[in-house]
Structure 1
Amino acid sequence: MEQIFTEKREVRETDLQLVEDSMQGSRSALEKLVLRHQAWIYNIAFKMVMDHDDASDITQEILIKTIRALPSYDPDKAAFRTWIYRITVNHVLSMKKKKFEHRISDIETYVSLIEKLPEDRYCSHPEKQLLEEEIKIGCMTGMIMCLSRKERMVFILGGIFGIPDTEGSQIMEVSKVNFRKILSRARKKISPHVNGFCGQIDPKNPCRCANKVTAFLSLGMADPEKLRFHHPAKPPIKDVATKKYKQFRKLYYEPFLDLYQQQPFYDPPDTTRWLRDILQQKAFREIFNL
């Protein structure tokens, strides 16, 4: 516990130093500050909208808001990570609906459509194992799209990325009790369908990703040359998420959450050049005395 506290304190102090240096006109400090948090913002955005292009646009919009608001950051009120996540949450909850939010909204309808896809137990595609993982991650990502935005966000923060209720409640600007209630409600909406349907959870369940490979290929919903969800070279979320998740999961653990924790933690697109172009704009140069 002491080690975790020390690590968090060191991150906080580093963030504070970068904020101070940024406000003194250090462009490199501002770049480091923004870029060190962008991967988390990007992964939250992707889980919220299920599309890498949309997630990239959302991340850039949030980073611009963050840079603009930086002079108002008060370290006495919140850690920088909590502050930037709050900006992320407020942006995502209020933005216009994205394409997959229009396509997927009801979990019973969604699961029914997956169930009705024809099965091929004898599929011999050379990339079958790769496609099976792609379908599994895509299917489970689609399930959380069926939650309301607020439920989805709490599920991502608490259930997938392991942010404890003490920090999650600050980010969502709700009480710790309400954060836990929202997370519990979101889990209860998803878990019955996963636990009684998904063969990844229980071999006795009817649905098998391997048997759906042919159907997904024929519908253009999977392509071994253009994987949208499965990035085998990337570390799983559980290896990147905060260590405090181990404490939190003892209270709120369900087996199906492991499937989300095993999903890849995606690299965001390279925004270095974009960020430097943004910082060349007169408005930003004036804010930070660049």
Structure 2
Amino acid sequence: MKNPFLKEYSGGKTDIELVSLAKNGDKQALENLILKHQPFIYNVAWKMVRNPSDAEDLTQESLIKVITKLNQFRGESSFRTWSYRIVANHFLVSKRKSSESLFTNFDAMAKGLDQTPDSEMSETEKKENKAFIKEMNYSCMNGMLLCLTREQRLVYILGEMFNADHSIGSEILEISKDNFRQRLSRSRKDLFNFMNNKCGLVNKSNPCRCHKKVKFALDNKIIDSKNLLFNRDEYASFKERIKPDTDEMMDIIDEKYSRLYSNLPYKQDFDKETFLRDIVNNDHIKNLMKLN
């Protein structure tokens, strides 16, 4: 699978070359290695835990694990597979972040949606509140991801949102291809079943509509009108960054809900310089890697 996460690193060196230089104390090579892979790691983390600050912590924790084990990399598999395996394992076993407690299962989310009062909007009001309605949509869909188990969530993010094929996904998670396909299928079904029963965007017979929940969300600070979490112009979408051919996807239960997830935001403006500074200037990392 072509690695779609190279935008942050514009140099021509391969992973193997960067790893070799970094092992020999080249600080710039280590920075470039981080730049090359951190957009992928951060955006997986963001979808795993929903909250940007929690995602930054999870990303930094996993990158430090990768770097501290860098001398163990022998090139027997691609660096991408080797390092993402460490990252995936950390995501699965790390202490749960506070933002993961928003919804623990689909029943809890259904109850929350049912208990949220509806407020109708006129067509004019819908146009005036278009940004907030989309934010509500993105927020709700990210909440649905949290209803999956961590393992299901990770499989779905890798296989559906990042378009990792069964070979790559199974290598990262160290499971068989059939097992990866089965877990991805189960995650898709669980999301689809919930959305088909609740979400008006997927099934028009459902009463739940994003615009009806906006007033409650704004009044209760669930949506910060001055600092939207998801619906921001500077963010790309997963479809733009990862899956340009999403409308032609195969093996999907219902491509309508899948397209919705392909439009979730892909964040590019997280504090990359802080990540680099904190990691490469960490005394333990500097001593371990003998950085120049």
Task: Please report the TM-score for the alignment, with normalisation by the length of structure 2.
Answer: 0.88
Does the 8 Å contact 2:217/2:223 carry over to 1? yes
Does the 8 Å contact 1:198/1:205 carry over to 2? yes
Q: Which runs of 5+ in 1 are unaligned?
A: none
CA distance in 1, matches of 2:112, 2:137: 15
Aligned to 2:114: 115
1:252 partner SS? coil
CA distance in 2, matches of 1:144, 1:227: 19
Aligned to 1:283: 284
| Pair 192,231 (structure 1): closer, same or farther in 2 beyond 3 Å | same
Aligned to 1:21: 21
CA distance in 1, matches of 2:278, 2:196: 48
| Pair 259,87 (structure 1): closer, same or farther in 2 beyond 3 Å | same
2:133 partner SS? helix
Does the 8 Å contact 2:60/2:279 carry over to 1? no
Deviates more, 1:188-197 or 1:49-58: 188-197
1:251 partner SS? coil
CA distance in 2, matches of 1:100, 1:282: 30
CA distance in 2, matches of 1:99, 1:47: 14
The percent identity for this pair of structures is 35
| Pair 195,224 (structure 1): closer, same or farther in 2 beyond 3 Å | same
CA distance in 2, matches of 1:262, 1:103: 22
CA distance in 2, matches of 1:127, 1:220: 19
Deviation at 1:230, TM superposition (A): 1.6
Aligned length: 283
Deviation at 1:169, TM superposition (A): 0.3
Does the 8 Å contact 1:120/1:214 carry over to 2? yes
Deviation at 1:127, TM superposition (A): 5.2
CA distance in 1, matches of 2:21, 2:244: 29
Q: Counterparts in 2 of 1:168-207, with a 5 A limit?
A: 168-207=169-208
Aligned to 1:54: 54
Deviates more, 1:149-158 or 1:188-197: 188-197
| Pair 70,246 (structure 1): closer, same or farther in 2 beyond 3 Å | farther
2:234 partner SS? coil
What does the per-residue CA deviation read over 1:124-173, in whole Å, with 9 as the maximum and x for residues that have no partner? 38851111111101101111111111111101111211111110001111
CA distance in 1, matches of 2:241, 2:274: 26
Aligned to 2:149: 148
Deviation at 1:224, TM superposition (A): 2.0
Does the 8 Å contact 2:102/2:143 carry over to 1? no
1:30 and 2:27 aligned? no
Aligned to 1:87: 86
Deviation at 1:185, TM superposition (A): 1.2
Aligned to 2:105: 106
Task: Please report the TM-score for the alignment, with normalisation by the length of structure 1.
Answer: 0.88
CA distance in 2, matches of 1:120, 1:245: 33
2:290 partner SS? coil
Q: Which amino acid aligns with 2:189?
A: K
Q: Which runs of 5+ in 2 are unaligned?
A: none
Does the 8 Å contact 2:199/2:208 carry over to 1? yes
Deviation at 1:203, TM superposition (A): 3.1
1:224 partner SS? coil
CA distance in 1, matches of 2:73, 2:254: 37
Does the 8 Å contact 1:232/1:264 carry over to 2? no
CA RMSD of aligned residues (A): 2.6
Does the 8 Å contact 2:247/2:259 carry over to 1? no
Deviation at 1:83, TM superposition (A): 1.6
Deviation at 1:243, TM superposition (A): 6.9
Aligned to 1:135: 136
Aligned to 1:68: 68
Aligned to 2:41: 41
Q: Which amino acid aligns with 1:260?
A: Y
Does the 8 Å contact 2:31/2:280 carry over to 1? no
Does the 8 Å contact 1:198/1:208 carry over to 2? yes
